[in-house]
């Protein structure tokens, strides 16, 4: 399995996603990391950008792609089985919906869809149940796009926020390769409901 793996913002989820990448590498998957400009350019309170990029390259054994010149080669070379974008922010989702391929991750997604291959979206957004939700629903209707199941990560403090269940990325890929959306898509705990 050869995966083009795009990483956009949502810095608080970078280490969690890195752990999933490690697990897939251990299963024998080849992973090519592709990062957005902001991911490679900025350190945040969640971690140092240079350390994250170094860890990503060490774990995958591959140099990150970080610009559109590098990502442009993905389409014509057709060397991947699937693309995963995780974490995928509301901004990246909006760009995909509107055909805005102005950075390495969105251009990679375009290349994968051009080749009729699965694009897996692992969301991480504080606004996916708000104004940005419309874009996710639009993406979910497009052929060859599949969503990693997700849940509200902090419904008391951030009522519009959701993140994917990162541990289900592998199963989402398996289903997508069969042309199926993994189910259930939305996770919750019934006992958590407050009236």
Read off the pTM: 0.92
List, in sequence order, every beta strand (DSSP E) within 58-106. 82-88
Cβ partners under 8 Å of residue 137, min gap 6: none
Domain residue spans of the chain: 2-180
Residue 42: the pLDDT is 53
User: How far apart, in Å, are the Cα atoms of 120 and each of 24, 87, 140, 153, 192?
Assistant: 15, 10, 10, 20, 28
Q: How far apart are CA 138 and CA 96, in angstroms?
A: 10
CATH class of 2-180: alpha beta
Q: Is the pLDDT of residue 70 over 90?
A: no
- The H or E element spanning position 123 is strand 119-125
Phi, psi (degrees; rounded to nearest 5) at 32: -100, 110
92-126: pLDDT as tens digits: 999 999 999 989 999 999 999 999 999 999 999 99
32-57: pLDDT as tens digits: 999 987 776 556 777 777 888 999 99
Q: Is the pLDDT of residue 64 over 90?
A: yes
User: How far apart, in Å, are the Cα atoms of 115 and each of 52, 76, 79, 119?
Assistant: 30, 9, 10, 11
């Amino acid at each position: 399995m050869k995966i083009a793996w795009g990483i956009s913002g949502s810095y608080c989820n970078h280490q969690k996603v890195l752990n999933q990448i490690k697990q897939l590498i251990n299963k024998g998957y080849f992973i090519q990391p592709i990062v957005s400009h902001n991911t490679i350019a900025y350190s945040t309170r969640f971690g140092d950008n240079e350390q994250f990029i170094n860890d990503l390259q060490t774990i995958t054994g591959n140099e990150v792609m970080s610009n559109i010149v590098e990502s442009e080669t993905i389409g014509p070379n057709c060397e991947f089985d699937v693309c995963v974008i995780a974490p995928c922010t509301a901004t990246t989702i909006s760009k995909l919906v509107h055909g805005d391929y102005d950075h390495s991750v969105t251009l990679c997604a375009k290349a994968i869809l051009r080749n009729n291959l699965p694009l897996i979206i692992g969301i991480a957004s504080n606004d996916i149940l708000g104004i940005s939700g419309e874009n996710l629903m639009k993406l979910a209707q497009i052929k060859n796009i599949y969503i990693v199941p997700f849940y509200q990560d902090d419904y008391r403090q951030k009522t519009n926020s959701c993140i994917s269940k990162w541990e289900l990325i592998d199963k989402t890929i398996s289903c997508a390769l069969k042309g199926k959306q993994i189910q259930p898509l939305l996770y919750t705990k019934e006992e958590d409901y407050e009236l």
